[in-house]
Amino acid sequence: LAKTTQPISMDSYEGQEVNITCSHNNIATNDYITWYQQFPSQGPRFIIQGYKTKVTNEVASLFIPADRKSSTLSLPRVSLSDTAVYYCLVGDGTGGFKTIFGAGTRLFVKA
Amino acid sequence: DAGVIQSPRHEVTEMGQEVTLRCKPISGHNSLFWYRQTMMRGLELLIYFNNNVPIDDSGMPEDRFSAKMPNASFSTLKIQPSEPRDSAVYFCASSPGAGGLYEQYFGPGTRLTVT
């Protein structure tokens, strides 16, 4: 399984755009990149998933360069409620995917 | 849909006692995952099932831990005997398919305290 590396923590202010980068140098051809968000005292929640280039949904955007060795989760205009831990996962798109959550990035949004 | 349901939400027990955690996955989902989360070790995958069959239990820490999925709508994680180091939040998650393409839906977790 490809290992991922993310910053341990990040601080931001309300209204700013936040970009969290994840490194996955050993990503395999079949691997997809998935991001989850976890609030205190809750289970993780799926945010976005992609394979290459750019993916956007109502919550975030995911940018993946051509070599796919990294990815960047972009949160536009964060609010206090975006304070959470964000996990980057890389896994095989075929059956038998074993989920490995790393330490994640703890984002703290200040007023 | 009610989402993934876990019970109990909190459990406090004494060392040596048997603990059973329960999970009801989202209807129609064919994959189920059990995780454990602690400050020290983060979120660890313990075991996952596909179509009620255990696929990978390599994350189960010891023989004291066992998990079953007798049908598509119910799973249990049992710890016998429990130890203080088992104190953690245990999450159950389900997904509509096996593999990394499928979003996992997590339950609210069971906070276990073993004294």
Helix, strand, coil percent content, chain A, rounded in steps of 5: 5, 50, 50
Nearest residue of A to residue B39 by CA position?
A103
A102 burial via Cβ count (<10 Å: 0-12, 13-18, 19+): middle
Chain A residues within 8 A of B56 when measuring between CB atoms: 96, 98
Distance CA A84, CA B69 (A): 32
Angle at B103 between CA A109 and CA A15, to 5 degrees: 20
Residue A3: the pLDDT is 81
Chain A residues within 8 A of B42 when measuring between CB atoms: 101-104
Residue A98: the pLDDT is 63
Question: Average of pLDDT values for A42-64?
Answer: 94
Q: Residue B77: phi, psi to the nearest 5?
A: -125, 120
Q: Does A40 touch chain B (CB under 8 A)?
A: no
Distance from CA of A36 to the nearest CA of B (A): 9
Residue A2: pLDDT over 70: no
pLDDT digits (tens, 9 = 90+) for B10-69: 999 999 999 999 999 999 999 999 999 999 989 999 999 999 999 889 899 889 999 999
Q: Does B56 touch chain A (CB under 8 A)?
A: yes
pLDDT digits (tens, 9 = 90+) for A24-43: 998 888 888 999 999 998 99
Residue B3: the pLDDT is 95
Residue A73: pLDDT over 80: yes
Pick A43's closest partner by Cβ from B42, B91, B97: B91
Q: Using 50, 70 and 90 to split pLDDT, how confident is the model at B99?
A: low
Q: Does A98 touch chain B (CB under 8 A)?
A: yes
Chain A residues within 8 A of B108 when measuring between CB atoms: 42-43
Residue B100: pLDDT over 70: no
Distance CA A4, CA A1 (A): 9
Q: Using 50, 70 and 90 to split pLDDT, how confident is the model at A90?
A: confident
First CA to last CA distance, chain B? 36
Whether A71 and A19 have beta carbons less than 8 Å apart is answered as no
Among A79-83, A90-94, B85-89, whose mean pLDDT is lowest?
A90-94
Q: Residue A80: phi, psi to the nearest 5?
A: -55, -35
Q: Does A29 touch chain B (CB under 8 A)?
A: no
Residue A91: the pLDDT is 79
CB contact under 8 A, B42 and A46: no
Could you identify the residue written with the tokens 């096996």? B98
Residue A97: the pLDDT is 57
Distance CA A6, CA A22 (A): 5
